[in-house]
Structure 1
Amino acid sequence: MTSPSAIKWSAQQLQLLDQRILPARIEYLSYSEPFAVAEAIRNMVVRGAPAIGITAAYGMVLAAQQLTSTPASVAAWCQALSAARSALANSRPTAVNLFWALERCDRVIEEQGNGGNVLGALTALAENIHAEDIKLNQRIGDFGASLIPANSVVYTHCNAGALATGGYGTALGVIRSAYRDGNIRGVIAGETRPWLQGARLTSWELIQDGIPVTLAIEGAAAHLMREQKPSWIIVGADRVAANGDAANKIGTYNLAIIAKYHGVKVMVAAPTSTFDANIDGEKIPIEQRPGEEISHSFGQRIAPENINIANPAFDVTPAALIDAIVTEHGIIHAPNRDKVLAHLRAAADS
């Protein structure tokens, strides 16, 4: 199956597939400095928690490349890279992979900053995070696929595919693996307002792979669950809390409530790097996007002037509405705090 590459690294330069203009055009933008990378994350040139983490790691490499002299100590390295790190950290608040990647960069600086090869080590780390993510997604896909019964229709929301990760995808990784196994006969993709990631990105990815997909408006979810009887709702996550609550694209919580009524199971597919063992779901920060994203369409105003706008980018689905969380280390059935923390401990020991 063909998985598009959202992120490319070559010749000390970062290239990002501009996801704002897909599927009309396939265009890569080149970046050589970290502040532009932070803006690319903020403006959704690249999006999806794993992809944001990978991009941030490469952003730190670009920051180190820009230095005209080599800092002589860990403290000097931290000072020299602090502005770039802050810009990257502030680009989007909900995706925990962003901070996970930056903290891994911090550890490299601590290990190499006193006379070591910081630039080389940061480059190796970013490349490793990128390659590692693809392998993890394939494992997530295979674990999740084991839950999909034969002849299934499944429902997905937003885009948790190759475009949102290093490649292959989390939720779409499960769908890819289950389709490979012959157990999926169709996918329903919700359009995902206001950025239409389901319409523009998920539908495009599945079509590239020859996987049958039906695009649906947000308001049709309950009707389609009753009529089509999907076996699973399969989504990704931007942060999974210690108590098993999961933050994902706005509208996921709605789907989980509707699914409970119709007897449809809910699966969250995410690597353990997306887990935050220090927070419960109610404390996850929810990014508020600009009001113009819903007051305007293609640059034209479609809402009244001076209207109050609520545009949260994410919502949090309570663990009680989630049947399974799938990671690269296996499946957490009926997640709760004890099960999530035990899974993370086992993952750390493996």
Structure 2
Amino acid sequence: MDKDLRPIIWDDENNQLILIDQRKLPNSLEYFTCKDYNDVAFAIKDMVVRGAPAIGVSAAYGMALAELNDDNIEKAYEQLKNTRPTAVNLFWALDRCINAYKSNKSILDEAKKIHEEDIEVCRKIGQIGEKIIDDGDTILTHCNAGALATSAYGTALSVIRFAHYNNKKINVIADETRPRLQGAKLTAFELNYEGIPVKVISDNTAGFLMKKGMIDKIIVGADRVLKDYTVFNKIGTYSLAVLAKYHNIPFYVAAPYSTFDFKNDLEDIVIEERDEKEVIYIDGVRIIPEGVSAYNYAFDSTPPELIAGIITEKGIIYPNEK
């Protein structure tokens, strides 16, 4: 992305973290300043910042702020760890920071290293993954796995970006992604910003477009990938994978190795349930009858047999190849 549109900025002069406030996009490009780890915890929990890699980088800077403000490091670690339960990058980054602290190393230096590594990893994912895209492809993506979800480039959108950078004529279809509309608001914003052709559809349109032969490939991001290659991602990902399998459309996941969870099994994972108000209200207007409640699962899981490939910074993993 343009260097002026940076989702995560560390301000060395004032020792503060500056985040694009993603709650305000696409109507307004505003920034949210974090002066202590409590501000960072709020930003993650309230989705000022979202996307697994971006959450991890932000949490690392939250730990750095705790160090700089002489706060209790263990308390900061626990509070930041409890902001979101499903995205594994959060725990990965926090563990790196707490290990640096226990080794008498600078947490801020570790956070900056995590930030720089994320930029390079996302670049590599794009460079490796763009090879799966053919000139003329129409690619469907879900939620936002772009620069706004990382430090730069994105994961799924990095693949799309690098295909565009290599002059492949591509079109992108973005699911709106209810209930918070990250596809409509964030993915469409990013792609339009870079001049990559994009159309937004309601989530329930995807299967019809596949049936009409209008989708060549599907690429999504991930919040967690288990050792058996089960993928946890934004709710609605599983539905797309099932539809893609039926219509013989390759379904790809783009994720850095920091998103891989080699310790836990499927039954160990907590699927985040967010406030039902996110479903019940749109922009403050109630859309379902009084007295009716809602489910609001934030993520679902997609089994490896539905996945054509997982694009990482080290290469493409093919879960179904023996």
The one-letter amino acid of 1:7's match is I
Q: CA deviation at 1:182?
A: 2.9
C-alpha separation in 1, matches of 2:206 and 2:266: 24
Q: Deviations over 1:284-335 (max 9, x none)?
A: 2110000100111211222122323210000001111000001100010135
Q: Does 1:165 align with 2:150?
A: yes
**Share of identical aligned residues, percent?**
49
Structure 1 segments of 4+ aligned residues over 4 angstroms from their partners: none
1:326-341 equivalences under 5 Å are 326-335=311-320
- State whether structure 2 residue 7 is matched by structure 1 residue 6: yes
Alpha-carbon deviation of 1:36?
1.6
Partner residue of 1:232 out of 217, 233, 247: 217
Cα shift at 1:110: 1.7
2:279 aligned partner: 294
Structure 1 counterpart of 2:211, which letter?
A: R
**Other-structure match for 1:92:** 84
Aligned AA (1:292): K
Query: Deviations for 1:99-127, whole angstroms, at most 9, x for unmatched residues?
Result: 00010011101211xxxxx4xx2111111
Taking structure 2 as the reference length, the TM-score comes to 0.96
1:276 maps to what in 2? 261
Aligned to 2:31: 28
Q: Which amino acid aligns with 2:34?
A: Y
What is the rounded CA distance, in whole Å, between the counterparts of 1:127 and 1:146 in structure 2? 30
Choose the corresponding residue for 1:309, options 294, 301, 313: 294
Q: Are the aligned partners of 2:77 and 2:98 in contact in 1 as well (CA < 8 Å)?
A: no
Q: Is the 8 A contact 1:158 1:198 kept in 2?
A: yes
Give the 3-state SS of the residue equivalent to 1:195 in structure 2: coil
Matches within 5 A, 1:91-170: 91-112=83-104, 118=105, 121-170=106-155
Measured after TM superposition, the shift of residue 183 of structure 1 is 3.0
Alignment of 1:157-236 (within 5 A): 157-236=142-221
Q: Which of 1 and 2 has greater Rg?
A: 1
Instruction: Work out the number of aligned pairs and report it.
Output: 319
Structure 2 distance, partners of 1:302, 1:230, is 31
Does 2:18 align with 1:15? Answer: yes
Question: For residues 294 and 24 of structure 2, what CA distance do their matches in structure 1 show?
Answer: 24
SS at match of 1:146: helix
Q: In structure 2, list runs of 5 or more residues that go unmatched.
A: none
SS in 2 for 1:158: coil
**Residue 249 (str. 1) matches residue 234 (str. 2):** yes
Q: Any idea what SS the aligned residue of 1:240 has?
A: strand
Going by fraction, where is helix more abundant, 1 or 2? 1
Return the match for 2:66 from 55, 63, 80.
63
CA RMSD after TM alignment? 1.4
1:203-247 deviation per Cα after TM superposition (whole angstroms, max 9, x unaligned): 000001110001111110011112243221100000001110100
Question: Partners in 1 of 2:320 and 2:56 — Cα distance?
Answer: 25
> Any idea what the Cα deviations from partners look like across 1:143-199, whole Å, max 9, x if unmatched?
111111221111000000000001110000000011222334200000000000000
Partner letter of residue 102 of structure 2?
E
The TM-score with structure 1 as length reference comes to 0.88
Q: 2:75 aligns with which of 80, 83, 88?
A: 83
Corresponding residue SS for 1:279: coil
